[in-house]
Amino acid sequence: MAAQKELCDAIVIGAGIQGCFTAYHLAKHRKRVILLEQFFLPHSRGSSHGQSRIIRRAYPEDFYTQMMEECYQIWAQLEHEAGTQLHRQTGLLLLGMKENPELKTIQATLSRQAVEHQCLSAEELKQRFPNVRLARGEVGLLDESGGVLYADKALRALQDAIRHLGGLVCDGEKVMEIKPGLPVMVKTTSRSHQAKSLIITAGPWTNQLLRPLGIELPLQTLRINVCYWREKVPGSYSVSQAFPCFLGLDLSPAPHHIYGLPSGEYPGLMKVCYHHGNNVDPEERDCPEAFSDIQDVQILGRFVRDHLPDLEPKPAVLEHCLYTNTPDEHFILDRHPKYDNIVIGAGFSGHGFKLSPVVGKILYELSMKLKPSYDLTPFRMSRFSGLGKAHL
């Protein structure tokens, strides 16, 4: 096994969107960084692949809406540097019952944070989006700043930028062992690396790396069905027809959120998905579908039939993605309780992609012992009982 003799400033494990943005911020600040990825790039084994993600300021929590302010700026900066379009503004339409507490909280947050939005009655929605059908009592809230991020293009742009800034992107290097200390040593399938600090952004594989270091985070890996539905009239739900992204908040028949993006990835197909999935081992994500997978698709089919009547109510394409969820669905951005030069970014719970520019900045700051730009109270691992220093 060849040894990597030179001591670098930081090693980042996991080249999904969070790891890429972390390495990008490190390289931008002239730090010598190595980004390790167990699979050959590009790959579809984790949570960052595919062509599109929703970007939005609409959140119940002020802290996410505040973080999104800077995220939009960094996305625009990356787009400028890459010379390629990574984002398209479409608006985000939130649908829910008029008395839905989450809808009311989101509206209050948008008002407090001075984000442009519109409350739409059933009648106004019908005029503006005639191919959305509402049940009695449902209303809309439009976050004007919402839109689509071109996910695979963003990953490519970041990996190119990291290399251009002098960082190393090493794919096909699975981490076999982490030896904590100063420096920290990381042994992979092909060589050993040493660094002053280590950042772990390994998604569903996080606990495999953390267990030998004495901690296990309360993470649950879910396999999500990513479904595409054929338009009866091609283009009727497209960006060119000014159709927005949408988020359905606990609408019948779904006990969890349903979200959708305008057609575009596959011509004539609209992405509509269930923000929930089934437990899965990340090494066995391609195993045959469970009965509960089929139930999830049936729930989506009924939603499509009732709310999006110009789509065929059976999915034309079905793909998969992994979520790594925490119990409260807030991220973990923290230092290892025993080794303060090991930093962890985990548990992005299916809503981390849009926030990755700021998450990467925070993980960079933690790894360089700088004062974090944001209050990290909601993201500390100590909020889960038994995960403070006493646990070790």
List Cβ<8 Å contacts ≥24 apart for 313-317: 313/229, 314/229, 315/227, 315/228, 315/229, 316/228, 316/229, 316/230, 316/266, 316/269, 317/227, 317/228, 317/266, 317/269
Q: Do residue 235 and residue 194 come from a single domain?
A: no
**CATH number of the domain that 100 lies in?**
3.30.9.10
Q: Do residue 310 and residue 226 come from a single domain?
A: yes
Q: 185: pLDDT confidence band, cut at 50, 70 and 90?
A: very high
Q: What is the pLDDT of residue 112?
A: 98
Among 118-127, 188-197, 380-389, name the one with the lowest average pLDDT: 380-389
Number of domains in the chain: 2
Q: 31: pLDDT confidence band, cut at 50, 70 and 90?
A: very high
Q: Do residue 133 and residue 236 come from a single domain?
A: yes
Q: What is the pLDDT of residues 301-350, one digit of tens each?
A: 999 999 999 999 999 999 988 999 999 999 999 999 999 999 999 999 99
CB-based contacts of 331: which residues, under 8 Å, 6+ apart?
345, 346, 347, 348, 349, 352, 355, 359, 379
Q: Do residue 138 and residue 159 come from a single domain?
A: no
Q: Do residue 255 and residue 310 come from a single domain?
A: yes
**CATH number of the domain that 14 lies in?**
3.50.50.60
Residue 138 lies in a domain: yes
Q: Residue 241's domain spans which residues?
A: 92-144+220-325
Q: Do residue 314 and residue 242 come from a single domain?
A: yes
Residue 124 lies in a domain: yes
Residue 239 lies in a domain: yes
How crowded is residue 267: how many other Cβ atoms within 10 Å of its Cβ?
A: 10
Q: Do residue 300 and residue 170 come from a single domain?
A: no
Asked whether the predicted pLDDT for residue 181 surpasses 50, the reply is: yes
Q: In the predicted model, what is the mean pLDDT of the chain?
A: 92
Mean local confidence (pLDDT), 115-136: 95
Q: Do residue 226 and residue 359 come from a single domain?
A: no
Q: What is the pLDDT of residues 347-368, one digit of tens each?
A: 999 999 999 999 999 999 999 9
Q: What is the pLDDT of residues 12-29, one digit of tens each?
A: 999 999 999 999 999 999
Percent with pLDDT over 90 in the chain:
83
Q: Do residue 228 and residue 350 come from a single domain?
A: no
Residue 390 lies in a domain: no
Q: What is the pLDDT of residue 226?
A: 93
Mean local confidence (pLDDT), 62-74: 98
Q: Do residue 230 and residue 290 come from a single domain?
A: yes
Tokens of 69: 């302010």
Higher model confidence: residue 40 or residue 157? Answer: 157
- Mode of pairing for the β-strands spanning 245-248 and 92-97: parallel
Q: Do residue 364 and residue 305 come from a single domain?
A: no
DSSP string, 26-93: HHHTT--EEEEESSPSS--SSSS-SSEEEE-S--SSHHHHHHHHHHHHHHHHHHHHHTS--EEE--EE
Tell how far CA 27 is from the center of its chain: 22
Residue 81 lies in a domain: no
Cα–Cα distance, 198 to 13 (Å, whole number): 8
Tokens of 297: 């698709």
